[in-house]
Amino acid sequence: MADLKQLTDSFLTLFGGEAENIRFYQAPGRVNLIGEHTDYNGGYVFPAALTFGTTLLLRPREDRLLRFASTNFPDKRFDVALDGIAHREEDGWSNYPKGIVHELQKSGRGPEKGFDLLYHGEIPNGSGLSSSASIEVVTGYALLTEGGHPVDLAELALLAQRSENEFNGVQCGIMDQFAVANGREGQAMLLMCDTLEFRHVPFESGDHVLVIGNTNKRRGLVDSKYNERRAECEQAVQELRSAYPELTLLGQLTPEQLRAEESRIASETVRRRARHVVEEIDRVLQSVDVLEQGDLAAFGRLMNASHDSLRDLYEVTGRELDAMVDAARKVPGVLGSRMTGAGFGGCTVSLVHKDSVDRFREQVGAEYAAATGLQADFYVCSIGDGVSRIDV
């Protein structure tokens, strides 16, 4: 948890005035435990909210000005009139919260008066732990609450996704915003991205902890490859329709159904993409089963199978993620290790015995640096709650 006293001091240094009316809100980051590249195929994902994220300090103003500051970008403050909300390249990161204000205004729930806002993020930006969803959701939640509007968390997640898609031009699915809004301490979330049906699944890891490894490799290829994979999945659906006329998304097929008809897909590459998607969705469901039976080792094996499939069939891992996962699996006490997020960089997630964590950091860090020339960062994490107001 961020140091609220220190953040209050920073707030007063930046904006002046009194501390009295400052309010505090938080939203977590998230990690997807299994179920990668399934969301846009009408499949399941299995994310969990983290215990670190974005803290927002906010204080009402008498006029109609919004003043945005962030401890993560200390050089520049962005002052924007409520009546002139528009995306501007030169407004940098403030386009994320502005997108939320824009969506609220469109739905008739825009703020009546302005605010001073200070953000403090503990999530490394651009590493696939959803700092963008975190800043969006905390902003939406805070402004709705301040305006006296009821908050429907699913609706808030959709609003935040829309603002990222339309206002910021980033094609993300719904998983990030949904997990950040609806997370629950100690529980992962089985989420069907198509229908937004979800349920919490207790994640009882006993003597094991989740360790996130940041490759610190920027996800350079991610946009073009992401679009390519989506097109390949659509191609597979089209060709499979000669066998399954009603098919609209790969997620509607079981692995058996795909296997029976996969020869209808002409390209061997597209066939492998489809196999990944359908089997990965099945692995998510198996994960829930084994976790509910308390079989953590089986969950670890599913994590490994997920990564291997993303590497060999879907081809979205890359040298850095593979090097980190290979190194992780050699450490005694590691039940499973896989990439998390869209791939080509970003983070891995591993299930590690708590007595092995120090060795894990050391050994994986050294081996990863030797293989790639990059320094890794590691975060031992617990599963936290979704967005909330912090009462002080």
The residues that touch Mg ion, with contacts defined as CB under 5 A, are 132
Give the footprint of ligand ADP on residues 265-304 (CB under 6 A): none
Neighbours of 255 (CB within 10 A): 15
CB of 169 to ligand ADP, least distance (A): 12
Angle between helices 153-162 and 95-106 (to 10 degrees): 120
| Cβ-based neighbours of 333, under 8 Å, separated by 6 or more | 352, 353, 355, 356, 359, 360
Q: 37-68 burial, b for 16+ CB within 10 Å, e for fewer?
A: bbbbbbbbbbbbbbbbbbbbbbbebeeeebbb
Which residue of the chain is nearest ligand ADP when measured via CB?
A: 121
Asked about 176 being catalytic, the answer comes back as yes
213 binds ligand ADP (CB under 6 A): no
Tell me which of 42, 114, 128, 140 binds ligand ADP, using CB under 6 A.
128
What are the structure tokens assigned to 81, written together?
């009139």
Binding mask 60-99 for ligand ADP (x = CB under 6 A): ----------x-xx-------------------x--x---
215 part of the interface to ligand ADP, by CB under 6 A: no
Per CB under 6 A, 161 contacts ligand ADP:
no
165 binds ligand ADP (CB under 6 A): no
Task: Report in angstroms how near the CB of residue 129 gets to Mg ion at its nearest.
Answer: 8
- Residue with Cβ nearer ligand ADP (48 or 236): 48
Phi, psi of 338 (to 5 degrees): -155, 160
Give the span between the Cα atoms of 317 and 312, in whole angstroms: 9
4 is in an annotated binding site: no
Residue 350: name its binding partner from ligand ADP, Mg ion, none (Cβ under 5 to 8 Å by kind).
none
Residues contacting 77, CB < 8 A, separation 6+: 14, 67, 68, 69
DSSP state at residue 39 = G
| Shortest spacing between CB 159 and Mg ion, in angstroms | 16
Residue tagged active-site, from 176, 282, 322, 385: 176
CA 383/CA 387 separation, integer angstroms: 13
* Residue list, annotated binding site for ATP: 70, 126-132
Report, as residue numbers or ranges, the catalytic residues.
Answer: 176
Binding residues: 36-39, 70, 126-132, 164, 226
